[in-house]
Copies of this chain bind each other. A is one copy, B any other.
Amino acid sequence: MTHKILVLPGDGIGPEIVAEAVKVLNVFTAEGNLSVALEYANIGGIAYDKEGQPYPDSTRALAQKADAILLGAVGGPQYDTLDRPLRPERGLLAIRADLGLFANLRPAILYEELASASTLKPEVVAGLDIMIVRELTGGIYFGQPRGIRVLENGERQGFNSATYTESEIERIARVGFETAMKRNKRLCSVDKANVLEVCELWREIVEKVGKEYPEVELSHMYVDNAAMQLVRAPKQFDVIVTSNLFGDVLSDAAAMLTGSIGMLPSASLNSSACGLYEPIHGSAPDIAGQGIANPLATILSVAMLLRYSLNRPELAERVEAAVEKVLASGVRTGDIYTEGCRKIGTVAMGDAVVAAL
């Protein structure tokens, strides 16, 4: 069976890091271990430049037929003055909605070799391994009504709606519990149920789904406390499940605890196992085209792609082991460089992973 993979290099360092990740897939196909058909399309700023839209119809058509999507990054300062609907990040929001990618899995893992990059004390973060399950197609990101209106007194008022239905909460809660079942069986649901009605319903439904997972130890935490606890004692968490907006904030905080966001992948899944895989770092326009970007987060995104969309956990593990081996060998891109290591560029890092495979 040949898997259709859509590759969306995007902006900034996107094309460079995606090229290295594709090399990893090529290793498996060359081995005869995997059959993939790669197609390429535009998203973000480059899509606007070439096709006038951040998520063009041509890309949409390919995305809807793909088994999995590998994305680099979107955005750049040259697009900041565009009308909002045309900006690169709107392409990202559009593809999430279009494909129903409601479950965003964002691991925050501290690699032992890179522990010193964290701004936190070693004992606080050593061995950190959290999985954040963020709802990605609902909540205030997509809620209606929204806009800027003029009130009777002539003043303008901006307004957005945070909404969740029972079924939206139920399906993301289920992903949270299933993820916890495969890990250490502890799930923390983060909300603000002491203030927001939408979170009252969230908590009620998470509790209800929890009844089906008696083995999972479920806890609830308010979002302000969760932000505190991530700083105070992050290792208390195994899996966190939360809404779109809270997940946006907490997953970035959690990622930064590791000190090396150039290492962190993500997966955005829908109900039919199609997924979009991307590094969590941005397009880094300041270093684009210089051949110095770290491709490891994108390579680890390929590992997630193999695991979640292609159902090839053994290949995913090989990728992850190869990355660990490369780190252990002491080579580093600039963003994760420390004294005593050998600094190499994007292509050399990709080659090192290929060699380790």
Interface residues of A (CB under 8 A from B): 84, 87, 89, 93, 119-121, 124, 140-141, 143, 146-148, 151, 155-167, 192, 194-202, 223-225, 227-228, 230-233, 245-246, 248-253, 255-257, 259, 261
Contact = CB atoms under 8 A, between A and B. Distances in A.
A27 B349 CA distance: 66
B232 A252 contact: no
A347 B255 CA distance: 42
Contacts of A143: 159
Contacts of A233: 119
Contacts of A140: 140, 162, 195-196
B159 A195 contact: no
Given A124-B119, A194-B89, A200 B163 contact: no
18 contacts: A84-B194, A93-B195, A119-B231, A140-B140, A151-B165, A155-B166, A158-B196, A158-B199, A160-B163, A192-B248, A227-B249, A227-B252, A227-B256, A230-B253, A232-B256, A232-B259, A246-B249, A253-B253
A148 B228 contact: no
Contacts of A232: 119, 256, 259
Contacts of A197: 146-148, 158-160
B162 A160 contact: yes
Interface centre among A143, A192, A194 (most CB of B within 10 A): A194
A224 B201 contact: no
Contacts of A256: 227-228, 231-232
Nearest to A157: B165
Q: Is the interface of A mostly helix, strand, loop or mixed?
A: helix
Q: Which 9 A/B pairs are nearest by Cβ-Cβ distance?
A: A158-B201, A158-B198, A227-B253, A231-B256, A224-B252, A228-B256, A157-B165, A119-B124, A159-B163
Contacts of A161: 159-162
Contacts of A89: 194-195
Contacts of A251: 224
A158 B168 CA distance: 11
Given A158-B164, A165-B151, A197-B147, A249 B231 contact: no
Nearest to A162: B160
A77 to B, nearest CB: 13
Nearest to A145: B161
Given A163-B159, A165-B155, A245-B192, A228 B201 contact: no
Given A119-B120, A253-B253, 18 more contacts: A84-B194, A93-B195, A119-B233, A120-B121, A140-B140, A148-B198, A157-B164, A158-B164, A158-B197, A158-B198, A159-B161, A159-B197, A159-B198, A160-B161, A160-B196, A160-B197, A192-B248, A228-B261
B227 A250 contact: yes
Given A197-B148, A252-B225, A257-B231, A162 B162 contact: yes
Most B C-beta atoms less than 10 A away, residue of A148, A151, A195, A261: A195
A250 B162 CA distance: 19
